[in-house]
Structure 1
Amino acid sequence: MRADRLVATLLLMQARGRVTAAELASELEISVATARRDLEALSTAGIPVYPQPGRNGGWSLLGGARTDLSGLTATEAQALFLLVGPAAAIAPEAKAALRKLVRALPESFRGDAEAAAEAVVIDPAGWGELDKARPVVVNDLQHAVVRRLKVRLSYAGRRGAPPSERLVDPLGLVAKDDVWYLIAGTERGQRTFRVDRVLEATVTDRPAERPDDFDLSVAWARVVDEMEQNRSLLAATVVMQERHLWVMQDRLGRHCEVLDSPGNGLVKIRVTAPSPLMIAQHLAGWGGSIEVLDPPSVQAELARLGGELVSRYGNDRARSEAAR
């Protein structure tokens, strides 16, 4: 007996006050016999569900009992369906669940909820790219997270190092910029694994340990903060045209900070990255339209990159012009 179907049954009864087994079967796309068994199971489990015989009979929640699952406001219902809608466009299971949830909502909520579900489409592929399939191993890891089972990972080493074997407690999965990450508990504390480096994942039958206060969004926020700090080990001060600032901010995000506006259409910014070379690589394409005030290490890397470009292409250009 599926828990999601029982929840949907409760939602329908709360929204409508009274339902028959036939109505329930039609709404949830199940047989009348299955609908009747579900209603009897709810009653047996102690839920205040009872039948009313007769011509206008059916099943009702005793005394107008309510379940918190459907105590949604109109705004909350719209927010929920805005989140679920994009998933329904690519996952048949999500689409079926969404359809059942819409039917379970109060009549006055349905129109806005359906509109919210259809308001957003997420296309993960860039222009000129094919759709990127979710890694197969993600399904196994997701199963382990939901079932709270330990997973044995074969994890690729860095820079050609041999793979390592690790037994972890999977806590949650995060997809960021088409890259999947697994947050898991290990003997050395909580760790983050890139799923594309997981060579093999074996779900065991051993129960996983999960901290009572674990919150995936909070844990991921800590991971992001740590990674961004590592990417901000070095800073350069740069002066550029203020009208082009939005381009730099769009490319570098939080690694571009405005320091001052000295006037004359200029703006002074702070650019961060792990090394002088990486900062220089970000800035080299701007050519002479920007000025790096410090540090000297970044200035030196820009000069070196410029020298390499002149060495490779300068003579070719000179010969081309001479040939004309």
Structure 2
Amino acid sequence: MRADRLVAALLYLQTRDLVTAAQLAAELEVSERTARRDLEALAAAGVPVYSTAGKGGGWRLVGGARTDLSGLTAPEIRELFLLTGPESATSPRTRAALRKLVRALPAPLRPGAEAAARAGVTDTTDWTGAGAEPALLGTLRQAVVDAVRLRIAHARPGRPPRERLVHPLGIAAKAGVPYLVADTPDGLRTFRVSRITSATPTGEPAVRPPDFDLATAWRALAARMEDRMLAATVRGRAAPGTEGVLEGLFGGRIRYGAREADGGWTAIEVDGPSPEIVAAQLAGLGARVELLAPPEARAALARIGAELTARYGPATPAAAPGAPGPAGTPPA
């Protein structure tokens, strides 16, 4: 398309003090006559470009003028600033980058970009305290940028840390939780950053697989994790008023069925890694949830109930003399 070619011609002019029609023709892979017509079209459109004839002549931008040719449309610019958020919610480095970007935009687009930056805020603080940025995240990011092999210690829940040599390839975030994507002797793996207890650069170069693309690799790795998260389905019924708690626990992994006419209980289906894990997550709702299938989920919930009764129920053995009694009873 000629419009694309004109943009390419102007970009080429911006990188050269002087350009001949022959040079532009070679760059755009068109005839010299077509290149000359394109240069004349730019001048006719008001772009500050002029030509000088004779030996040593050619085309140049007046005074080294520069025209914004980022290719960003007004809606794309607004979306970018909406995603970044207001200056008060960004780091000093991001604020500096935003100011440079605003200055680089054509004047008519600047008010819209600035308004978009003020239109929303993203607060990543988790009031439970679990959302703080992991201490080693900066180290891991730097290793990815520097392409340096790492020795990391990673601890799975309930297990001691295990040391591994990895090739860091990128950082991906799932629902705000950062993961290190790395190549290992066992293939591509993800490591939840908050579970990495140490990370030491080895000084050796990291090896990047040929044609590696982080977004493509993450989609494949995430799909495997999601398959594990959805390996089992538990069916049951829930009392009225439990919807908010259930959705907080399971998000999109819970589905509602028909509501019973008497009492208003609702049929539910919940996906999870295993029936036992889903049962443990539902145990806090007590009698407000009844599990119907599979049998493993019912058995797990019964076992949890028995353990709680043994610890806190009326059959608790009497306390030793001088020890606190159950539920606020003063010592004997």
Q: State whether TM-score is above 0.5.
A: yes
The question of whether the paired residues in 1 share the 8 Å contact of 2:126 and 2:132 is answered with no
Amino acid at match of 1:238: G
Q: Which moved more, 1:172-181 or 1:124-133?
A: 124-133
Shift of 1:79: 0.8
In structure 2, the partner of 1:59 is 64
- For structure 1, the residue ranges without an aligned partner over 5 or more in a row are 1-13, 18-40
Distance 1:312 1:165 in 2: 40
In structure 2, the partner of 1:303 is 302
Distance 1:224 1:74 in 2: 33
In structure 2, the partner of 1:217 is 215
- Structure whose CA Rg is larger: 2
149, 168, 171: which one aligns with 2:169: 171
The question of whether the paired residues in 1 share the 8 Å contact of 2:291 and 2:298 is answered with yes
247, 270, 278: which one aligns with 1:249: 247
The question of whether the paired residues in 2 share the 8 Å contact of 1:43 and 1:50 is answered with no
In structure 1, the partner of 2:101 is 101
Distance 2:178 2:294 in 1: 35
Cα pair distance change 1:298/1:124, threshold 3 Å: same
Hey, which bits of structure 1, 4+ residues long, moved more than 6 A? 48-52, 319-323
Root-mean-square deviation (Å): 4.0
Number of equivalent positions: 272
Amino acid at match of 1:270: E
Shift of 1:207: 6.0
The question of whether the paired residues in 1 share the 8 Å contact of 2:259 and 2:265 is answered with yes
Specify the SS of the correspondent of 2:90: coil
| Identity %, equivalent residues | 35
1:263-278 to 2 correspondences below 5 Å: 263-264=260-261, 265-278=264-277
Q: Does 1:189 align with 2:187?
A: yes
Cα pair distance change 1:45/1:145, threshold 3 Å: farther
Q: Which moved more, 1:105-114 or 1:241-250?
A: 241-250
Shift of 1:205: 5.8
Specify the SS of the correspondent of 1:315: coil
Specify the SS of the correspondent of 2:314: helix
Distance 1:222 1:303 in 2: 37
Provide Cα deviations, 1:92-138, integer angstroms capped at 9, x if missing partner: 11101101111111222111211222333333222364982452x43
Specify the SS of the correspondent of 2:72: coil
Q: Which has the higher helix share?
A: 1
In structure 2, the partner of 1:200 is 199
Shift of 1:236: 1.5
Distance 1:87 1:146 in 2: 25
In the superposition, the TM-score normalised over structure 1's length comes to: 0.68
Shift of 1:287: 2.3
In structure 2, the partner of 1:117 is 117
The question of whether the paired residues in 2 share the 8 Å contact of 1:150 and 1:167 is answered with no
Cα pair distance change 1:203/1:121, threshold 3 Å: farther
Distance 1:131 1:227 in 2: 21
Cα pair distance change 1:51/1:119, threshold 3 Å: same
In the superposition, the TM-score normalised over structure 2's length comes to: 0.66
Provide Cα deviations, 1:43-97, integer angstroms capped at 9, x if missing partner: 4698x99999xxxx74314xx7x63xx2111110011112233687331111011
1:136-175 to 2 correspondences below 5 Å: 137-147=136-146, 149-156=147-154, 163-168=162-167, 170-175=168-173
Shift of 1:251: 1.8
Specify the SS of the correspondent of 1:279: helix
Q: Does 1:233 align with 2:231?
A: yes
Provide Cα deviations, 1:231-285, integer angstroms capped at 9, x if missing partner: 3333221112466434312320232123x31542343221233334322222222
Distance 1:257 1:123 in 2: 29
In structure 2, the partner of 1:81 is 81
258, 263, 285: which one aligns with 1:261: 258
Q: Does 1:180 align with 2:178?
A: yes
Amino acid at match of 2:126: G
- For structure 2, the residue ranges without an aligned partner over 5 or more in a row are 1-6, 25-46, 51-61, 317-325
